[in-house]
Amino acid sequence: YLGNIMFILLVRHAQPFWREEAKDPNNPELTELGIEQGKITGNYINLLKSMDITFDTIWHSELTRSRQTAELISKELDNNIKMSEHSWLNEVKLLDFKGMKEYAERSEKSDFNAVELDKWYEGFESMENFVDHANNLTPHFYQSLEDFGIKKSYQQTRNGDEKVWEITTDKNLLIVGHGGTNSVLLSELLSFDFKPWNVVRLGIDHASIAMLVGVSVGKEHIFRLQKLNDTHLLSPEKITR
């Protein structure tokens, strides 16, 4: 990893327990398997210190499944890590228990893959629109990155202005988000066009890791995708989506 500037790890929360008797359809806690997934992922992240990749900051959403996963990871790390809660990291909102049931059933059956692309723009019944969700979180993400020492910039090329990053921090960043939010963050960091079906395109499993590396391009930086949907420490029967 010689010459790399910094690392960002995007972790999806571990498996949540969707149930109709919950008080809030948007805020399930982790299952027993989810707790195990979180511990295993934390152990893997801790092993990265052997390559001098360490973290002292975790961003997580307000939602229980993200916070619980972040806490499980932090307990596996040797250092005193700072936990930072961000409401803009919250997942696409389920508007009622009907939305929760539909989301849970579609996720369990991988049924989102059967949906026509245009439907993703329209959105699903009883769920927040994916495009609105992305548009709402993106400016807050950019501001939080800038506060951390990662500022969006542009470099002029023969094909027009290309997004690059001014990186002024030597700290690495660990983000525990959600399938929908992490797909938006990956799109922004890697300069992919946002599509509401990116969550299916990227295929982000519970407790999986995406690793991005900041590398120099001239005077600025871009992010290179080093790993995507990394669950290699989870045995096959413990991998869920």
| pLDDT tens-place string over residues 169-215 | 989 999 999 999 999 999 999 998 888 888 888 878 999 999 999 99
Q: Which pLDDT score is estimated for 192?
A: 87
Q: Which pLDDT score is estimated for 109?
A: 47
The model's confidence at residue 45, banded by pLDDT at 50, 70 and 90, is: very high
- More confident: 5 or 35: 35
Question: Which of these ranges, 11-25, 80-94, 168-182, has the smallest mean pLDDT?
Answer: 11-25
Pull the structure tokens for residue 38: 């979180």
Mean pLDDT across 119-128: 80
Q: Which pLDDT score is estimated for 240?
A: 86
The model's pTM: 0.90
Euclidean distance between CA atoms 168 and 28, whole angstroms: 37
Q: Which pLDDT score is estimated for 1?
A: 41
Q: Which pLDDT score is estimated for 2?
A: 43
25-31-33 Cα angle (round to 5): 150
Is 60 exceeded by the pLDDT of residue 27? yes
- Concatenating the DSSP letter of every residue in the chain gives -TT--EEEEEEE---B---TT-S-TT---B-HHHHHHHHHHHHHHHHGGGGT---SEEEE-SSHHHHHHHHHHHHHSSS-PEEEE-GGGPPPPB-SHHHHHHHHHHHHHTGGGGS-HHHHHH--TTB--HHHHHHHHHHHHHHHHHHHTEEEEEEEETTEEEEEEEE-----EEEEE-HHHHHHHHHHHTTPPP-TTHHHHHT--TT-EEEEEEEEETTEEEEEEEEEEE-TTS-GGG---
